[in-house]
Amino acid sequence: MIRIISGIHKGRRLKAPKNLPVRPTTDRAKESLFNILGHAIYWPDTSVLDLFAGTGNLSYECASRGAKRIIAVDAHPGCAKFIEQTSELLKLPITVYKRDTLTFLRQSRDSFDLIFADPPYDFSEEQLGELTSLCLDGALLKDEGLFVLEHSSARDLSHLPGFEQVRKYGSSSFSFFRSTEKNSRS
């Protein structure tokens, strides 16, 4: 069960199909994450990219809070279909791409204020490094933008370029990154 914790759809519960290969972000972790973001983001001006979107949990939260544009990317057809159906039902500004995330990132010419990624926990160090580089290098993340990577708390990503901080919530952690181009200009 997915619960939207704030915004115009606050308290709304959504039931995702049981056969989706997802590991949803817990309510506790999601609430903590959005408390942090609430101090840094003005939602009506925010464009969001949700990678490995799964059920769309984070996309719905951003849309409920007023984000102007959200793109959700997931390679699984059932996940993409569920997000599309839910977005239509709730009239949310979410565009869904059923694509491999790394391929999408290599081909994207768009830019975003906020990028979320929740890759499988068995992603290799090399894959996480590539994911982070694709999100931070170049123009995908706008200046002053934020990249949030959810991962196993057993992993330490502080060695990756652009790393700012990590917040741990049980077995899950969120690592926060800023554009490496911006960091190199500082």
pLDDT tens-digit map of 27-57: 888 999 999 998 889 999 999 999 999 999 9
Phi-psi region of 14 (alpha: psi -120 to 50; beta: other; left: phi over 0): beta
Nearby residues of 113 by Cβ (< 8 Å), 6 or more positions away: 41, 45, 46, 47, 48, 142, 144, 145, 146
pLDDT tens-digit map of 101-142: 999 999 999 999 999 999 998 899 999 999 999 999 878 999
What are the chain's domains? 2-185 (3.40.50.150)
pLDDT at 69 (0 to 100):
96
